[in-house]
Structure 1
Amino acid sequence: DLRTPLTSTTGAVTSLRQLPDLAEDQRQDLLLAIEVEAARLSRFVANLLDMTRIESGAIKVRRDWVDVADAIRSAAERLQKSQGHSTRVHLPPNLRFVRGDQDLLVQVVYNLLDNAHKYGGDGVVSVDARDDGSDVVISVTDDGPGIATEDLERVFEKFFHTAGVDGRKPGTGLGLSICRGLVAAMGGTIKAESPVQRRCGTRLVVRLPAADLPPGVGQ
């Protein structure tokens, strides 16, 4: 995973150095390639650091009242701004809160949405939440090719990849593993379901213990 962006960046830099008479549009394409691969490498390093913190127990989880609906909206807006991906958001009124860390929950939902857009192709990605007994359940669904039954647990392993809709293996193989660690740190669970419709599609389901706000809090 480290080798690919480094190789691409080195190749682009070499071309710029050895071919000074390149047309301006070609130069801009190479510069864009360097920028894209640098961002990819930065995300990979950030994911490695997050995974190291999770495994070492260095992540300190706050126990605040977390507005799940607000966290979901924040994650969807962040993905839209950073990558241009639009997500269908379905949230019921008066969704219950959870006790946990708002920033970590935003990161979890962001990672799930990012993963759905990478592997779901150009189809629709949606996120919804609901109260379910003593829990709040968050679901991120895509209508991509789905995940093989034998891989439904393995997708949460470090560096595990499945092929995207174009046959490539996008991403770092860390996003879902990080999600599992962060969700567990907040006392929740995460699982993958596939297929979800007409023998295709994937749904990633996060379940967190609900927490009722005490009188006067959040009002």
Structure 2
Amino acid sequence: MDTACQLSKGSFRASFYYNSLRANPEIAVYNVSPGITVGNTVVNYVSMTESRINCRALSNQETVKIIFNPFGGLTWWGKIGSCDYVLDIPSTASVNRFETVDPGMLAGIGFRCQVFPETIVTPGISLDFGCSVAENIIRKFSVDGSLAGVIDGKLSTLEGQTVFNVSKKMGKIESFGGFKIFRSYLKLQDSSTLSYIDGYKDNINLFAGAKLKLTSYESIICEANFIGETSFSLGMGIGF
């Protein structure tokens, strides 16, 4: 979450934000029916006849992102934070829900190319390349809304992205928008048996947001994403 404003050599800016995400990841089933250990029983949660399954995911994230330009060329960024996760996997006759109890960890790195710097007349344009990863421990397993038991599972997500961003300042407000092309990978593993199910999905998002300058160094920033994933982010930013 950031504008396309160019950073001068030696400068940095940071943002602290909350993000609420809804997504539809895909998983693949080949010739086995994956299971999860509930107590002493292994419960199969998808049908063997299904090949690719559209799932539903919900996640809330709290993130710190730092963007810096150490040498005057490429602008680099890194982020770290915490997240929870809810994954709904439909089967033939039911919907199976996997849910975290405690927050997991997320991290990401990337770089930005400034295509055109912002001028009085023209907006700033940038291209952003990066990847991010998240790890969550899954503890709750429910079937059609009824808790089936406590489990020990691990959910891993990996995403690579390219972002085209355009922004323009108008007084104290800097509006921005663009699109993101990304591939997301998801893996759900039973920690007891080490069996897992995984899959990836290619997607595109449109996004738009605004940054309101409060002081010389502080701002409020918000962003909304549409189409491939639906999310809303709100946070504070500082820059030097």
Q: Do Structure 1 and Structure 2 share a fold, with TM-score over 0.5?
A: no
TM-score range, shorter chain: under 0.3
More helix by share: 1
More strand by share: 2
The TM-score normalised by the length of structure 2 is 0.20
The TM-score normalised by the length of structure 1 is 0.21
